[in-house]
Structure 1
């Protein structure tokens, strides 16, 4: 870990209440990448949901299908690594669902318009 990160964690450590100590000290808690990876990956889920406002003729079914597949594949992986990362698993699952819905919407639109047979 970098010295800056250690200094920030050390300073914050003094202010964590006793009730939150188990979460703070957890193997997948805020002191580790296991916490921060899903925290930032939620932005990808939000962007996928925001794409629902995009016109369906501009949506890439390939991109949506790829993101859906990777989200669901990584959901499983998050449940077999140690420590088990439920937060990242939920984030990946939601990424898979959000993009699966988007892929279905785009495919249905293309089928209706006669683009896909």
Structure 2
């Protein structure tokens, strides 16, 4: 860990309430990358959900399928690593579902255009 991050954690530790102490001390808690990875990866899920507003002729099935596959593959990985990272697993599963649905929508739209 960087010195700046360690200093920030030590400073914040004084203000953590006793009820949140188990989360703070958890091996996948805010002191580790296991917490921050899903915290920032939710932005990808939100962007994927925002793409539902785009016209279907502008949606890339390749990109949606790739993001869906990535989400589902990493969901599995999050459940076999130690410590098990349920927060990142949920984030990756949400990414897979959001893009899987988008991919299906774009595929059926393109299929109906050809028909």
**What TM bracket, shorter-length normalisation?**
over 0.9
3-state SS, counterpart of residue 31 of structure 2: coil
* TM-score (ref. length: structure 2): 0.98
Matches within 5 A, 1:32-111: 32-111=32-111
Q: Gapped runs of 5+ residues in structure 1?
A: none
Aligned length: 115
RMSD: 0.8
Q: Return the TM-score normalized by structure 1.
A: 0.97
Q: Determine the C-alpha separation between the residues in 2 that align with 1:71 and 1:4.
A: 32
**Corresponding residue of 1:19:** 19
Cα deviation, residue 54, structure 1: 0.6
- Give structure 1 regions of 4+ aligned residues with deviation exceeding 3 angstroms: none
* Structure whose residues are more often helix by fraction: 2
Distance in 2 (alpha carbons) for counterparts of 1:53 and 1:70: 22
